[in-house]
Copies of this chain bind each other. A is one copy, B any other.
Amino acid sequence: MQFLGSHLLSTEQLTLGDIDTVFQTARLLEPVARGEKVTRLLEGAVLANLFFEPSTRTRISFGSAFSRLGGRVLDTTGFEFSSFAKGESIYDTSRVISGYVDVMVVRHPRLGAVKEFAEASGVPVINGGDGPGEHPTQALLDLYTLHKELGRELHQFDGIRIALVGDLKYGRAVKSLARLLSLFKGITFHLVAPDELQMPSALVQHLQACGHQVLQTSDLATGLHGVQAVYSTRIQEERFPSPEDADRFRGSYSINRAVFEQHCQPGTVLMHPLPRDNRSEHCELNNDLNSHPQLAIFRQTDNGIPVRMALFALVMGVQDQITASLQDPRWALRRR
Chain A residues with a Cβ under 8 A of chain B: 4-5, 32, 35, 37-39, 43-46, 48, 54-57, 59-61, 63-64, 67-68, 70, 72-76, 80-83, 86-89, 91-93, 95-97, 99-102, 234, 274-280, 287, 290, 298, 301-302, 304-305, 316-318, 331, 334-336
Complex copy number for this chain: 3
Which residues from chain B contact A35 at a C-beta distance below 8 Å? 44-46, 102
Which residues from chain B contact A72 at a C-beta distance below 8 Å? 64, 67, 72-73
Known contacts A56-B83, A279-B87, A335-B318; is A46 also within 8 Å of B64 by CB? yes
Which residues from chain B contact A95 at a C-beta distance below 8 Å? 298
Which residues from chain B contact A331 at a C-beta distance below 8 Å? 43-44
Known contacts A55-B82, A279-B87; is A44 also within 8 Å of B48 by CB? no
CB atoms of B57 and A93 under 8 A apart: yes
CB atoms of B82 and A234 under 8 A apart: no
Known contacts A38-B44, A67-B46; is A92 also within 8 Å of B278 by CB? yes
Give CA–CA (A55, B84) in the complex, Å.
11
CB atoms of A305 and B88 under 8 A apart: no
Which residue from B101, B290, B301, B302 sits with its C-beta under 8 Å from A64? B101
Which residue from B102, B275, B316, B335 sits with its C-beta under 8 Å from A86? B275
Which residues from chain B contact A48 at a C-beta distance below 8 Å? 60
Which residues from chain B contact A287 at a C-beta distance below 8 Å? 89, 91
CB-nearest residue of chain B to A53: B82
CB atoms of A276 and B64 under 8 A apart: no
Most buried by B among A32, A45, A91: A45
